[in-house]
Amino acid sequence: MSRRPVPPWCQGTIAALALAAPLPVMAAGGACAGSPPPAFELSIASGAMRDGEENRVEVRAHADGCVAVRRPWFLREAGEYELRLDAREWAALQSAVAPEELRKIDPRRLGAQTRQVWKDAAAGPVVFAEPDADVYTLRWREGDALRQLVAGDPRQAAARQPESAEAGRVAQAVAALRALASRTGKPVAAEGAK
């Protein structure tokens, strides 16, 4: 079957329609719809494909034990999932994330520490650099307030700077929430499904 070429005057219209189309994000009526607001959230923006919510891994853990996970189109088992934590798992997650400890972290110092990792690496005989490192956004609730820390791969920073308590603390919280992203849950929506 032959394809007819698109007339030049239509190309701009087609591009505008494609750009105006709504992006697939976690739907309000999707996973954990009846749950309270998320207690902890982790968003991982892919370094290679940073633009757009559809390119992020999203984990939202609610106080009732419901966890909403969204895996982007480029990961295996892409889509939106819901899983349930029992009381023991929820307590372990709260302990690992430890919002009372995260509150003590200075976001500017954390950013400087994660950037310093690559400056220090360049001074060595072998350079290990990740120009397309993922960006991690960690959010948690304190009463009605929503707090946030943003860091470029805190796990790498903690491994390369073991003396940094801030990077280690954030890396521990990120690891606990990231582990939930890889667990099998009840599919709510497959990526690309309507």
Query: What pLDDT score was predicted for residue 23?
Result: 32
Cα–Cα distance for residue pair 87/15, rounded to 1 Å? 49
Residue 90 has pLDDT above 60, yes or no: yes
> What confidence category does residue 75 fall into, taking pLDDT thresholds of 50, 70 and 90?
confident
Query: What pLDDT score was predicted for residue 116?
Result: 62
Q: Which domains, and CATH codes, for the chain?
A: 23-120+134-187 (3.30.1560)
> What confidence category does residue 22 fall into, taking pLDDT thresholds of 50, 70 and 90?
very low
Residue 184 has pLDDT above 60, yes or no: yes
> What confidence category does residue 193 fall into, taking pLDDT thresholds of 50, 70 and 90?
low
